[in-house]
Amino acid sequence: MRLLGNILWLILGGLVLSVGWAIVGLVLCVSIIGIPLGLQAFKMAELTLSPFGRTVVYRGGVGSTLVNLVWLVFVGVWMAIGYVLAGFANCITIIGIPFGIQSFKMAKLALWPFGADIVTIR
């Protein structure tokens, strides 16, 4: 079921979103200051490429929390709102509910990416 979900996800826009995140990550990694932000964009690209069967686990710490607060104010809120709205739009139909759940997972990562790891569910 995970494979089918990921294939449908890629066909219906996941591949485009993932490539977009990868491009943003490359642009951010051009400067030394942007490298930490670029790494978070690559993390979003990884989850966007195949969200089914994966989850976000936080290991955090004081440093991650401080950087996440800055991220939250400048970027995270707006990205998370976009993913939540996409999740609600997907959940309008019964068939779209699994895709909506994946959008909510990405909203969580978009809101608080530093200190988060993407792990495969076994």
Q: What is the pLDDT of residues 26-75, one digit of tens each?
A: 998 999 988 998 999 999 999 989 899 999 998 878 888 888 998 888 88
One-letter amino acid at 119 equals V
Tally of structural domains, the chain: 1
> CB within 8 A of 68, min separation 6: which ones?
76, 112, 113, 114, 115
Q: CA-CA distance, 109 to 79, in Å (whole number)?
A: 10
Domain range enclosing 86: 2-120
Q: What pLDDT is stored for residue 74 in this prediction? A: 86
> CB within 8 A of 13, min separation 6: which ones?
none
Please say whether the beta carbons of 110 and 76 come within 8 A. Answer: yes
Query: What is the separation, in whole angstroms, between the first and last Cα of the chain?
Result: 13
Q: What pLDDT is stored for residue 39 in this prediction? A: 92
Q: What pLDDT is stored for residue 88 in this prediction? A: 95
Residue 12 DSSP one-character state: I
Residue 22 has pLDDT above 90, yes or no: yes
Q: Residue 107: which pLDDT band, with cuts at 50, 70 and 90? A: very high
Average pLDDT, the chain: 90
Phi and psi, residue 77, nearest 5°:
-60, -45
